[in-house]
Amino acid sequence: MGLLVAGVQKNFGSHKALKGVNLEVRKGEFFTLLGPSGCGKTTLLRVIAGLELPDSGHVFLGGQDITRLSAAKRQVNTVFQSYALFPHLNIFENMAFGLKARHIDPVETNRRVAKKLELFGLSGLERRYPHQLSGGQKQRVALARALVNQPNILLLDEPMSALDAHLRGQVQEELRRLQRKLKQTFILVTHDQDEALMVSDRLAVIRDGLVEQVGEPRDVYSRPKNQFVAEFLGAANIIKARRDGGRVVTSLGSFDLSLAPVWDEGTLAIRPERIVLGEAGGDRANWVRAEVREAIYRGQSLDVWLAPGQTIRTKTGEDLRVRVRTHSRDHLRPGDQVSLFFPPEDLVALEH
C-alpha cells in the first residue's frame, strides 16, 4: 500500500522538528529519508510508525487516514536503531512477539517464524538470547521480527549505524536484494548518502524539517535542485554564474548548458568526476585551461585541485579552484598544465 504524508508538522517545545512535510511513497518501493542529524527524518519516521503524533497534517496508508491510529494498530513495523530486542525473550519469542500479541494461531506463528529464521540464516539460534548474538545477528533478528508480521510498510531507523564499516557495506547490499525479493515497501532513515544512493528506488533529502528534493538516486545526484542537496549527496563544485543569451558566463569562462537556467544570476554545480581532463589545447566550447595545484591520491580515485587559466585570476582576483576526480592511474603533479571539459549535461543550474 502506498503512503501519503500531507502537511505534517511537529514541534518539540520551541523546536520545530517538522515544518510541513509532504511526501508520497509508492507501494513496493525502497524509499529513503536522507538528511543530516537533527533534520527531522527520524521524527518523520516515528510519525509514520505511530510513535509520535503530529501537531498538524495527515498520514494516509492505502488511502486510509492513520494519523491518529496508535502504533499497535498500524500494519507498519519498525527496525529500531538500537534493534530494541527483548532481552528477556529468546530469539524465537522475540520474533513471535507481534504474532502472539495479535493472537495468531500458534501453528501459523511457528510456520511463519521458522520461514523467516531460514530466510535470515538464523535457524538454530531460536533458543539463544539477544545478548548471546553478534551485532550482525541482532540486526537480522530485528529485521526478521518486523517482517514476520507482513507489514504494509517496513520502517528502518538507521539500522546500519551500529555495524562496523566492513559489515555495513555487505548488509546494505543484502538489504537491497531482500527488498527486491520481497517487493515490500521499505522506508529507510539514514544520514549516509552512499547508503541512500545504493539502496533506494527513490529518496527524499530532508533539511530543517522540510523536504528539499525527492527523486531517483541518479536524478537527485546528477541534477541536485540546490546547493545543499548538491553538497550533501557528495562532492560538488559550486560556481557563481550569470546568464548571457544562450550561454552562461562564469569566472572560469562561458559554458553551454543542456538545460538553460531560469535565473539571470545564480550558481552552477558540477560533480568532480564529471569534469573531463584533457591535454592543454584550443579554446573549444566548455573547455577551460587550468594548472594543477594539488593532487590527492585516494586509492580508487585521484582528487585534483586545479586553478583555472591566467585570464580568470586577473578578472576576479580570487584563487578559484576546481576539484576534479579522475582515475587513480593518472599521474598529475602540481604545476602541470591541463584542459578541463565541462559537459553541458553535467552542469546544473541550481535554484536559489
Q: Which residues bind another protein (CB under 8 A)?
A: 49-51, 70-73, 76-78, 80, 82, 84-88, 97-98, 101-102, 131, 145-146, 149
All three cell numbers of 265, joined, read 544570476
Minimum CB–partner distance for residue 278 and another protein (Å): 55
Residue with smaller CB distance to another protein, 87 or 299: 87
The Cα 45–Cα 238 span in angstroms is 32
- Is-contact 213 204, C-beta < 8 A? yes
Smallest gap from Cβ 13 to another protein, in A, equals: 9
Nearest CB to another protein, comparing residues 73 and 242: 73
Residue 80 or residue 263: which is nearer to another protein going by CB? 80
Q: Give the DSSP letter string of 86-136.
A: -TTS-HHHHHHHHHHHTT--HHHHHHHHHHHHHHTT-TT-TT--GGGS-HH
CB of 76 to another protein, least distance (A): 8
CB of 71 to another protein, least distance (A): 4
Nearest to another protein of 131, 181 (CB atom): 131
Pure H helices in 205-271: 217-222, 227-232
* Nearest CB to another protein, comparing residues 101 and 285: 101
For the CB of residue 48, give the shortest distance to another protein in the complex, in Å.
11
CB 203 within 8 A of CB 219: no
Minimum CB separation of residue 129 from another protein in Å reads 9
CB 71 within 8 Å of CB 51: yes
Helix axes 135-147, 106-119, angle to 10 degrees: 140
Which residue number, 82 or 311, has a Cβ lying nearer to another protein?
Answer: 82
263 Cβ neighbours under 8 A, 6+ residues apart: 243, 349, 352
Who's near 5: CB < 8 A, 6+ residues apart?
A: 21, 22, 23, 24, 25, 44, 47, 48, 57, 58, 59, 60
